[in-house]
Structure 1
């Protein structure tokens, strides 16, 4: 199959993705280049979506060519090339996704962050940068990744961003839960407790702080990850005895595995 034929097939919505991928696989480097050219040049959104589905089927061997094209491409092509690398499930050893998490365009940063979240060597640094990103979707992606991986370094970065109000109101609850997932980090529990109970009230006359979105998020996090800890259980008991139904509901939220 010639490169031109592969491009025509890719643009023809009547030809299945699987068929185009089979033809391209026999076309070698020329077919890969043709698909990448079409991805960069077509203005048809459906055609781009098809090519983004076709390219990963050609396997990790195409990664080097994808990376080679990144630096000189416009942002919208860079975004798509990073999406291809993510879909491949592997990247060439010389490629560092972390180099792209500070890109000027948030759409490129999002794709780069998805790649770095998969790389233990890059993940913590990328999350620390991303939780301070002005783009809310970048922040959300970083928080979801941090909660999933439960990294101590990432949790510390999230706590700082919550404490200095870098993370906005809409994302604070998610951020508190993400930081709380780092159950092997000694600073996590005291930080959560500070959202829930008045300082210095542990022994006698303990009381919950006035209800706030941060407090409710902290109670959910305590229930999810710290209900087996004496201090965490103590605060949850106070919350469950509260006259406020929202506070009780947060303390009774379904626990996750520690």
Structure 2
């Protein structure tokens, strides 16, 4: 258990910051991946969007499988033992620390989010093997240097770190600003560190319509982008094969979660290594 567990806000204080009258991106996503941490307003928006574009459920499900494959590859093939997961979202099955520590019990993981709902569930993320460690930072993605400084309590930033930013950068409306945030975070990590990104993409009329409907719901907007812009986040890095592809096409496994799915989805991702 992380030492920072005692510093988390009390449940009552956190709940007071949670608005259950509006749909919420983490709860909405949680509903789509089969979780129970959501409210009627989230399910209503989710059901409405499923009518517009049923494929968004596949995006949510397969993006989670991509996370697992990427983490396993980084641990097994790249020797990564440290993870900085920004835009954590609500805990579900196979969170980053669970996947990493299943393969490498000594892995260390820092989760970062500034959402009161995620904070309320953070204790579920702070389990760890005795050999490893997990931590949670209540911090803002728009302050990369502050995140890196705080992460040093748990991570050794002189050694390679995997920066995980999954289904999060779409919340940054300005593309160049999103690129700058990624660059600033990677600038604070050493050679051999890796960047893992996935996001929904504007690769079908259905996805664009679903995004528009979601943004009109009152939730914090999420902007789908062309694949070329997702690829742009990896500029200056060595892209691991097969590059930036549909999340279902990134190093599919013969067994395990999502094995052999091969479904077409409007979500692309990739992994890049810092030279």
Q: What's the TM-score once normalised by structure 2's chain length?
A: 0.27
Q: Counting helix residues as a fraction of each chain, which structure ranks higher?
A: 1
Q: Counting strand residues as a fraction of each chain, which structure ranks higher?
A: 2
Q: What's the TM-score once normalised by structure 1's chain length?
A: 0.29
Based on CA coordinates, which of the two structures has the bigger radius of gyration?
1
